[in-house]
A = this chain, B = another copy of it.
Amino acid sequence: MSLRSDVTCALAEWIVDCDLEKIPAEVQREGVRTFVNWLGCAVGGASHETVDRALAAVTPFSGQPTSTVLGRGEKLDALHAALLNGITSHVLDYDDTHLKTIIHPAGPVASALMAVAETRPVSGREFLNALIVGVEVECRIGNSVYPHHYDRGWHITGTAGVFGAAAAVGRLLGLNVQQMTWALGIAATQSSGFREMFGTMCKSFHPGRAAQNGALAAYLAQANFDSSEQSIEAPRGFANVMSDKQDYREILGGLGESWEACLNSYKPFACGIVIHPTIDGCIQLREELGDNVGKISRVELVAHPLVLELTGKTEPKTGLEGKFSVFHSAAAALLRGDGSPTAFTDEAVTDPELMAMRRKVEVTTDKACHEASVTITVTLEGGERLEKHIERAIGSLEKPLTNEQIDTKFRGQAVLVIGEAACEALLAQAWTLPEMASVGKLAATSLPR
């Protein structure tokens, strides 16, 4: 554990100093992929009832309607738009993942940036710069406390994400180092969100609030609203209060040299990441089984204990709960070959055939099995057995989604919400992020035609 007492100040200095030319080309490319994937998810989740309800509640309190709820017609003030876009981008559990911490990095950061980018001219380069810096900050802070912080019950996308949003918006506002230090402090003291909320509307509320609260922190700091200057490392600051582990080398070590923002991954399936190897394997087994899928009598999984801890719901009642059921997910992959949002609707989890299949799934936990691996054994009625080992699922760092697969994913969710024409126009524009003169204008393209 580092004893240095200037972690927050040193980080703030780096944030202010890190212009785009200091960011390697491959990190910039990953930043664009992060942006495109986030945008598809934000549009894809826009018609979810979680979003309808949040909008119904906050619209009466919205200020000047400068900023767009992507994928929908409503406009809100920038802080509320940050909240709503953070919700939409995560509500399908289909977004991006920093696998070392299970942070979903883009939700808090990009949602805040896009809302602010509709209030002032922000070029694609400025946006990309702020996005990468914000993602780097939240992932490094996450690394410094993971896994102890997560194990205690904190939803790290919310708790670390608020720092990323503050850093990113702080860059757009041109905060100086003193103000950036305060912004990190105001963000820190709003850090919140329990894992207990998984499976409820509050899960996606967390990245939404992280975006909104981080942006607020930056605006307050701009007005010289002060805070502690040691909010991360102080004895009663973030790391000590919210975690049993504090490794500040994870925050400051190799800053600007090695890049967590380059380690982002993009979910091929619309659910908890620990189920992905199971879905990948079950879809492969379905192809191998052909008509014999109907004869499955038993499905045995051997997986890391975390899989059951996070996704052990045996009888999900809603689509949202289905995302946290490895049993349902295996059933949908075997019977429908589906891991996309349509596999996690209320209809799907109450479908009698899927319900019958999920009850045939048994999970054995084994700590020796890697969290990203699974072994699946299917037994047919006649006693025949097929085994499939997935060492790493598609979408993992070892098997990253190609740009074309990101396109497919984007279309697979956005077309359902805004139609094909708008989807194609938005997708084409999204990849041109670094050349855009004003990113805020993209929001209009995200609306249904």
Which residues in A have some Cβ–Cβ distance to B below 8 Å?
Answer: 50, 53-54, 56-58, 60-64, 77-80, 152-154, 185-186, 188-197, 200-202, 205-206, 209, 216, 219-220, 222-228, 230-231, 234-238, 240-241
Contact partner of A228 (CB less than 8 A), chosen from B60, B200, B241, is B200
Known: A50-B225, A57-B220, A62-B63. 6 other contacts (CB 8 A): A57-B219, A153-B241, A154-B241, A189-B202, A189-B206, A200-B227
In this complex, what residue of B is CB-closest to A152? B241
In this complex, what residue of B is CB-closest to A83? B216
The distance in angstroms between the C-alpha atoms of A54 and B80, with both chains bound, is 17
Residues of B within 8 A of A226 (CB): 200-202
Contact partner of A54 (CB less than 8 A), chosen from B54, B223, B227, is B223
The distance in angstroms between the C-alpha atoms of A62 and B58, with both chains bound, is 12
The distance in angstroms between the C-alpha atoms of A186 and B195, with both chains bound, is 13
CB distance from A355 to the nearest CB of B (A): 23
Residues of B within 8 A of A222 (CB): 57
**Are A190 and B192 also in contact (CB < 8 A) when A77-B61, A197-B228, A228-B202 are?**
yes
Q: Give me 28 A-to-B residue pairs in the complex whose CB atoms sit less than 8 angstroms apart, sorted by A's number.
A: A50-B225, A53-B220, A57-B216, A57-B219, A57-B225, A58-B219, A60-B63, A60-B77, A63-B63, A153-B235, A153-B237, A154-B241, A185-B202, A189-B193, A189-B205, A194-B231, A194-B234, A194-B241, A196-B228, A196-B236, A197-B227, A200-B226, A200-B228, A201-B225, A201-B227, A202-B225, A202-B227, A202-B228
Residues of B within 8 A of A56 (CB): 223
Residues of B within 8 A of A237 (CB): 153, 194, 196
**Are A205 and B186 also in contact (CB < 8 A) when A57-B220, A60-B63, A220-B54 are?**
yes
Most buried by B among A62, A80, A241: A241
Contact partner of A61 (CB less than 8 A), chosen from B63, B185, B186, B195, is B63
